[in-house]
Amino acid sequence: MSYLYTKGLTLNIYTIQNVQTIVQQSEADAQQKLVRVLTHEIMNSLTPIISLSDTLSDTMQQSNLKDEDMLAAIQAINRRAGGLMQFVENYRKLQYISAPQYDNVSVGNLLADLKQLYNSDCIHFKTEDEDQLLHIDRTQIEQVLINLIKNALEATDGCCEPCITLSIKQQLRGREVCITVEDNGVGIATDVLDSIFVPFFTTKTDGSGIGLSICKQIITLHGGTITATSTIGKGSLFTIILPL
């Protein structure tokens, strides 16, 4: 928007831009990221399965395969096949998140439940109005906040003075609520930050990579947004905006 002054009057000039191309490109980029992660994880599981199967086949044809070697190979194949099945099951979870069952939940009650789950001196809960009602699916939003707190605890593990703060406050004339989860942990690298909400993307050796993706889907179903900012060595901030 720009301004034009003429004959003592101020005119607002608006420019309308077609954003369809930008939206389509963003969707295509997201799909490409998902496909890259999916193919990477599937190949990681299939490659050793195929390799072990070939080895078993060749060795059995030579009739010099020991029973213990066969057992070890079969167990390894079973583990990788089980890992692949778990991966597919996690994908199914992403596809079947139910529509929110809305209810009016007070901020005070929501925070009280979280305090019971996380009774720790390093976790702080802040709000300006405990009586403020949120129109949300309580179970789903609790799942999101539990996931963010869990990640924050992992990020601050090893810190001399770990500090995690969950804050809830109104903004935009009371039409929206802002929920933030902030920590002073290790932080997230810039090249990683853009991918943390992509399904199955993870930097954890034992992570599934679906936690933050599910969080994003839940918040999107609520008509809100979730974003993250971070600085290496200083911590991370996750911000959720929900309509009231």
Residue 212's SS3 state is helix
Q: What is the pLDDT of residues 125-146, one digit of tens each?
A: 999 889 989 999 988 898 889 8
Domain presence at residue 239: yes
* Per-residue confidence band for 212, with pLDDT thresholds at 50, 70 and 90: confident
pLDDT at position 63 is 64
Higher-pLDDT residue of 208, 120: 120
DSSP 204: S
Assign 53 a pLDDT band (cuts: 50, 70, 90): confident
pLDDT digits (tens, 9 = 90+) for 68-120: 767 777 777 777 777 777 666 666 666 667 788 999 999 998 998 888 888 78
Percent pLDDT > 90 in the chain is 23
Model pLDDT, residue 197: 82
| 7 in any annotated domain | no
Would you state the pLDDT for residue 139?
A: 87
Q: pLDDT tens-digit profile of 10-25?
A: 666 666 665 556 555 6
> pTM of the full predicted structure?
0.66
Domain boundary among 48, 68, 95: 95
C-alpha to C-alpha distance for 229 and 235, rounded to whole angstroms: 9
Same domain for 218 and 179?
Answer: yes
Q: Are 198 and 123 part of one and the same domain?
A: yes
Same domain, 112 and 184: yes
Query: Is there a domain that residue 13 lies in?
Result: no
